[in-house]
Amino acid sequence: MGIVSVRMDEETKEKFTGFCKSVGISVSAAVNMFARMTIQENRLPFDVKGLPKQ
């Protein structure tokens, strides 16, 4: 197994951890699901948009 380290602000981490607990998965499982979906679909599993022009 390899290790991936991710930096995120504490509030995001707490909310994400809470969400994962609420659906019965670990943070590690959620990140692995994201990685596998990205590989399977050969794209990010959500739309990425730029910031609105000002």
State the greatest distance between any 2 C-alpha atoms of the chain, in Å, as a whole number.
45
Give the tens place of pLDDT for each residue, 1-53: 999 999 999 999 999 999 999 999 999 999 999 999 999 999 999 998 888 88
pLDDT of 53 reads 83
- Quick one: tokens of 33? 């699901």
Q: What is the pLDDT of residue 27?
A: 97
**For the chain, what are the domain ranges?**
10-41
